[in-house]
Amino acid sequence: MTDVLKQLFIGGAWVDAADGATMPVDDPATGEIIAHVADAGPKDARLAEDAAVEAQEEWARTAPRARSEILRRAHEIILARTDELALLMTTEMGKPLAEARGEVAYAAEFFRWFSEEAVRIEGGYGTLPDGRNRMLLTRRPVGPSLLITPWNFPLAMGTRKIGPAIAAGCTMILKPAPQTPLSSLALAGILKEAGLPDGVLNVVTTSRAGEVCEPLLRGGRIRKLSFTGSTAVGRLLLAQCADTVVRTSMELGGNAPFVVFDDADLDKAVDGAMVAKMRNMGEACTAANRFFVHRSVAEEFGRRLAARMGALVVGPGTRDGVDVGPLIDDAGRAKVEELVADAVERGARVLVGGTAPEGPGRFYPPTVLADVVPGSRLMDTEIFGPVAAILTFDDEDEVVRRANDTPWGLVGYLFTEGLDRALRVSERLEVGMVGLNTGLVSNPAAPFGGIKQSGLGREGGRVGIEEFLEYQYLAMPVG
Ligand code: NAP
């Protein structure tokens, strides 16, 4: 790929890494190297930090309408380049083109949403209870922010953080995942074109995440970390943020239960399962990880799901008619293979799939496992692949207890036609989001995020911008 952006984006300029290092980016469908991008080290990170810190004061003073218009223009440019961006994303990440186009629209929508929020940052004025003192409440940007994103939604995870940071008036450094730097660099190019001032967004691509990020978090000048990734890395970063009390937003891993009650509409449940499991080849934090199906409908549900999963076409995401692309890398595929082997060894039945094809490419077939035994490793590990693991249950209390028996709490899916049961069980599930008779919860207008070890804070919705704003209160005695 010759026409893609491959350098670091610092202070509004495209530059090589200070030591000239580069890193390869490959196509997971073939294993072929498609580009070499700049591989930043700590010196580059410091330059990016200097640029973000220097730009902060003026950016905070920029009119909200001006910030809003930049986001709006970027939203339009992204949509106008849907095909180009989708192809780039598919080539570096693997998802089928149709899904990549869907992600482009989803990603762009965060910019439109936050362009609307930028001009609705409200303060307040009030009389305090003593009747004499007044309170003037204003909002201000938290300050230079470090944004760290994963590879599974290369464009949307960026816009979900950059959108509210721009709207709030924060400058930032974005560190994308090394598997998918090209989409983030393309995004930086679009924001520059949309008129974003130099230094507001800086992008450092690197294969040395720890070396680049730790000094930033410990240095005292970065005031905010917004991280999306695994719980293990999130935990480590929280510890690094503690010393200088950096404010954090953490979107971490999940272990979503997908519960099908005996009064569910099975057509809806199977449709929902296909989305909750197969979106992004199962490489999503929201992916249904544990299917709890009432014993009386488990056989029928498994049969129908296996028929649908078995009919999907696996292949390179750029090829017409392909439904399921490759997994991100060899380690990701090996993990799925190990989890399936462990479940089968413990007694699970393979209804469809279950064996990885020969290379090239990191393909894994859509797989349905029935009679999965509690205690199997895939019950307490994110599968991050196209594998549906079905367990049975007998009553409501039991399934709520088992669904909640995990340190994670991102999302849960419920399928029932009973309104009472839907509300009762939703309230008892320890999750930040519930899909009721649907397999999709992600929407830029809704607060996305989890509880327990799935994270802190929310992205999107009315509260998304709050993550990048502070309060200041002015006390005034009157009269
Ligand atoms: P990951 O290994 O935690 O990596 C996420 C990002 O953190 C990458 O950019 C990674 O770069 C970086 N990173 C790793 N170690 C670091 C360190 N010591 N200092 C600074 N940065 C560091 O996760 P992943 O495998 O890319 O993504 C999958 C995970 O993300 C899953 O657990 C998934 O559930 C979660 N996720 C959550 C959400 C959500 O909204 N809750 C959304 C999407 C994904 P390197 O790869 O170079 O280490």
Whether 6 and 36 have beta carbons less than 8 Å apart is answered as yes
The residue whose CA is least distant from atom 26 of ligand 1 is 150
High-pLDDT (> 70) share of the chain, %: 100
251 is catalytic: yes
Binding site membership of 228 for ligand 1 (Cβ less than 6 Å): yes
Residue 362: what residue type? R
For residue 150, give the ligand 1 atom closest to its CA: 26
Burial pattern 29-54, b for ≥16 Cβ within 10 A else e, equals: beeeeebebbbbbbebbbbbbbbbbe
* Alpha-carbon distance values, 152 to 88, 218, 267, 270, 339 (Å): 14, 27, 28, 24, 20
Residue range 149-162, pLDDT digits in tens: 999 999 999 999 99
Please report, in tens digits, the pLDDT of each residue of the chain (479 residues total). Answer: 778 999 999 999 999 999 999 999 999 999 999 999 999 999 999 999 999 999 999 999 999 999 999 999 999 999 999 999 999 999 999 999 999 999 999 999 999 999 999 999 999 999 999 999 999 999 999 999 999 999 999 999 999 999 999 999 999 999 999 999 999 999 999 999 999 999 999 999 999 999 999 999 999 999 999 999 999 999 999 999 999 999 999 999 999 999 999 999 999 999 999 999 999 999 999 999 999 999 999 999 999 999 999 999 999 999 999 999 999 999 999 999 999 999 999 999 999 999 999 878 999 999 999 999 999 999 999 999 999 999 999 999 999 999 999 999 999 999 999 999 999 999 999 999 999 999 999 999 999 999 999 999 999 999 999 999 999 999 999 98
DSSP code of 177?
-
Q: Which of 251, 283, 459, 467 is catalytic?
A: 251
Residue nearest to atom 4 of ligand 1 (CA): 229
User: Distance between CA atoms of 269 and 298, rounded to whole angstroms?
Assistant: 11
Whether 150 is in the pocket of ligand 1, judged by its Cβ within 6 Å, is yes
Which residues are within 8 A (CB) of 323 and not within 5 positions of it... i.e. 6 or more apart? Answer: 96, 278, 312, 313, 314
The C-alpha atoms of residue 185 and residue 26 are separated, in whole angstroms, by: 16
Cα(163) to ligand 1 centroid in Å equals: 19
Sign of CA dihedral 389, 234, 41, 45: positive
Q: State if residue 28 touches ligand 1 by the CB under 6 angstroms criterion.
A: no
Say what the pLDDT of residue 415 is: 98
* Most ligand 1 atoms within 8 A of CB, residue of 213, 233, 250, 433 to mutate: 233
Written in H, E and C, the secondary structure of 331-399 is HHHHHHHHHHHHHHHCCCEEEECCCCCCCCCCCCCCEEEECCCCCCHHHCCCCCCCEEEEEEECCHHHH
| Distance in Å, CA 229 to ligand 1 centroid | 3
Strand segments (E) across 229-366: 247-251, 256-260, 288-294, 349-352
- 318-373 pLDDT, tens digit each: 999 999 999 999 999 999 999 999 999 999 999 999 999 987 899 999 999 999 99
410 close to ligand 1 (CB < 6 Angstrom) = yes
pLDDT at position 479 is 82
Q: What global pTM score does this model have?
A: 0.98
Name the closest-CA residue to atom 19, ligand 1: 210
What the chain holds in terms of domains, given with CATH numbers, is 8-252+454-475 (3.40.605.10), 256-443 (3.40.309.10)
